[in-house]
Amino acid sequence: MREIVLDTETTGFDPEQGDRIVEIGAIELLHHVPTGRTYHQYINPERNMPDEAFGVHGIGPDLLSPPRPAQPGQVTLRDKPVFKKVAKDFIDFIGDAKLVIHNAAFDMRFLSAELSWVGLPRLDDARAIDTLMIARSKFPGSPASLDALCRRFGIDNSNRTLHGALLDSEILAEVYLELIGGKQPDFGLSAPGQRGRDTVSDDDWRPRPRPAPLPSRLSEKEKAAHAAFVEKMGETALWSRN
């Protein structure tokens, strides 16, 4: 089972009002285990960056209105590709996998809008697994932000001083695995791709009986010595009773 844990950063809250995606970060899970494959892309939104959005993620100071110079280490967007240039690579990476997103409605709305603007199909909302909804269902009445869930599960998010799509995806992957029952929620302890040919499909893996019993690890000499030992104990010995 392949899943993509995904996060975006944007210029605001509403693509229908002209807000755009400025960063996408995603990591691949296979059978709930990170594979090491990631997708990360900064995107030129072709518009100014509002102060409010810059205060959240710190991206694109050169696109603020009025423009401000970038500080050392800050990401600027004027030289980054527009969404149309990266759309195919993004779609190729996610494939047909389920998309694990915190507050999925927000990110799915932006991604579908961006895809439709470049003539590509919108994403099916049914593909999204919303960790915010899972957390609210599992812990009703408790804070369900990503930071709050990190505190609940003891996940280190000390590097998260600002929102960043790839870092948030990495943190979300850990949170997601805790929400669904830990790093091996289905008790499929074999590593992905290492299951035998005679197993059922990966999506329906279950423990199965061993096709042939293992041979005894006792030698004939050891068996004979044990039998002699039991015989010496007499008929009243527990091991002699039927």
52 appears as a binding residue in the annotation? yes
Fold of 2-179: Nucleotidyltransferase; domain 5 (3.30.420)
| Residue 120 pLDDT | 97
> So where are the chain's domains?
2-179
Predicted model pTM: 0.70
9 appears as a binding residue in the annotation? yes
pLDDT averaged per 10 residues in sequence order, the chain, 242 residues: 95 91 95 94 87 71 64 73 96 98 96 97 97 96 94 84 78 95 55 43 54 73 80 72 59
| Residue 206 pLDDT | 52
- DSSP-H helix ranges across the chain: 51-57, 83-94, 104-117, 131-138, 146-153, 165-179, 220-232
SS3 48: coil
- Write phi, then psi, for 164 (nearest 5 degrees): -145, 135
- Write phi, then psi, for 79 (nearest 5 degrees): -100, 10
Residue 219 CA to residue 232 CA, distance in Å, equals 20
Clarify whether 163 is annotated catalytic: yes
| Residue 164 pLDDT | 76
**Candidates 31, 32, 102, 163; catalytic one:** 163
